[in-house]
Chain A
Amino acid sequence: MNFIYSVQSEWIKTKRSSASWLCIIGGFFIPLIYLLKFFYDGNSINSYKVDIWKILFNQMWQNMATFLLPMGVILASSLIAQLEFKNNTWKQVHASPQSFTRIFFAKFTVIALMTLKFFLFFNIGILVVGVLPSLVFDHKLPIQGIPITYFLRANFNYFVTCLPILAIQYLISLKFNNFLVAVGIGLLGLIGSLIAMPWKYVYLIPYSYSPMTVFPGKKDFPIYMYAFVYFGIIMIISYIIYVSKKEKG
């Protein structure tokens, strides 16, 4: 129960924070562009004819996974972890009756939940893009049902590709009190991985997994397993660094 209380406490901190706004803006950005495009063309997903939801879903995710998703994750995770540095509150957190393990994992849980919130907004955006133009132009709902299982599985997979980024950004944000260091390293890692995408060892870069899902020729690689392993290793390193920190505030 104590852990839940710590997560709740951490969640309150994200209220009206930059990370929270970023989730809303980042989550609805691509759907908004699609929506505008549909309205401009006078089309709806009914014009796709076959697998209309899957086509829309995959198109939008392709745009998202290449750059916006990892970038959003970099920014959101760094912003949440940096809240304590920015407000000079680490000392208050560490002087409260919570074990360091509890603090470490509660904070990470909130970062992961924030990423899920980002996913949730994006998926709502996809549904709106699917439904709204149909209602406006055809006055009828999309001709095919929503493939919920497909959506959930794909979301889960994309989430797994984000885990190494979440872990590494969390580590950097706990270590450095300058937000720009975390974002700078994240951005370099992401751009580096995009440039190195044709390289056969690109999977060594933890920022590469999300773009790899949409990059031709990389889909057969065991992306999700590598992402999980990378995530586990970085989390262990982060935890050791955090717990053994001599000055905690």
Chain B
Amino acid sequence: MYCIETKNLSHRFSEKEVVLNNIELQVPEGSIYGFLGPNGAGKTTTLKLILGLLKKQEGSISIFGKPFDKHRIEILKQVGSLIESPSLYTHLTAKENLKIWQKVYQCPMSRIDEVLAIVGLSETGKKKAGKFSLGMKQRLSIAIALLHSPTLLILDEPTNGLDPSGILEIRELLTKINKENGITIIISSHLLAEIEKMVTHIGIINKGEILFQGTLTELHEQQTKTSSIVFETNDNAQTNQILQAKGLQSSIKNEQVIVPFTDRKVIAESVAALVHANIEVYQVSTMKNDLESIFIDLTKN
């Protein structure tokens, strides 16, 4: 079952400005779903619609299998969120900030100390949230999101502005709570490298449209599909002919002959055929598209 499912979700800020176009988001239960896209792609708008922070215009949103608009309060009781920058009362301490939400969610007071320990902010004492570093603010925001032991966490760019160690800390924390408590997490980012190490599923959005959605394994398969073998020889035209004669879809680009990667055997057989035809082979290499370049390719197109 999907924890979050949207159908034909579209949104526009004005007649001409279409921000989302038929978004079909499917976030499986128990997954860490990376919601990727460049800045302005529509990630925050999608997440705001899911949380009811924006009035829905078209399409449907269901969370835990229930339509959001009809079960808003019931659903939000089980959802923790962090949208864009931290939402903290800067004149209050970490504990006081959590106390505000403890009153609303009516969870045990002991949870305040528990979540502060989880995010490593137990020792902040009387220090006001306004005096916290950005990393501490982000962690306190995550503590607020975790306070009522939600089953779904919606995090919009939670690592924004953090240094590498801060990013690592948040990543470890989220992986831990996902594994230990089975919390479904949807986390948005504009940097694939930042989240690819923790996510199980990925959705890529650009210009308000979903370009890819699936498991990380499926994205890796796409990565293999888009890898190529590159030949550098003394006669590219003849090399191209020989490889095409072998049934390969070769082409010449930048004074190199490029063949889509299918199997390692192809490399050995191709080199043997070229040597047999007296072609001097200077270099054979495989060009693997990393996930980042797939992401860039997808979003560029």
Contact = CB atoms under 8 A, between A and B. Distances in A.
B76 A97 contact: yes
B52 A94 contact: yes
A17 B100 CA distance: 14
Interface residues of A, number: 26
Given A95-B52, A97-B73, A246-B54, A9 B104 contact: yes
B105 A88 contact: no
A96 B76 contact: yes
Contacts, number: 84
B196 to A, nearest CB: 27
A92 B87 contact: yes
B88 to A, nearest CB: 6
B115 interface: no
Looking at B79, B104, B105, the one whose CB has the most chain A CB atoms below 10 A away is: B104
Contacts of A9: 100-101, 103-104
B83 A91 contact: yes
Contacts of A220: none
B92 A89 contact: no
B96 A87 contact: no
Interface in B55-91: 55, 72-74, 76-77, 79, 81, 83-91
B106 interface: yes
Nearest to A89: B87
B74 to A, nearest CB: 8
**B interface residue count range (under 10 / 10 to 19 / 20 to 34 / 35 or more):** 20 to 34
Contact of B81 (A13, A95, A246): A95
A248 B81 CA distance: 14
A135 B105 CA distance: 50
Looking at B54, B55, B86, B87, the one whose CB has the most chain A CB atoms below 10 A away is: B87
Given A6-B104, A98-B104, A12 B99 contact: yes
Contact of A16 (B51, B83, B92, B99): B92
B268 interface: no
A184 interface: no
B1 interface: no
A15 B53 contact: no
Given A89-B89, A91-B87, A96 B55 contact: no
B20 to A, nearest CB: 14
B86 to A, nearest CB: 8
A99 interface: yes
B87 A88 contact: yes
Contacts of A17: 91
Those 10 A-B pairs whose CB atoms lie nearest each other, nearest first = A92-B87, A9-B103, A97-B76, A249-B53, A89-B87, A97-B77, A246-B55, A95-B51, A97-B73, A8-B103
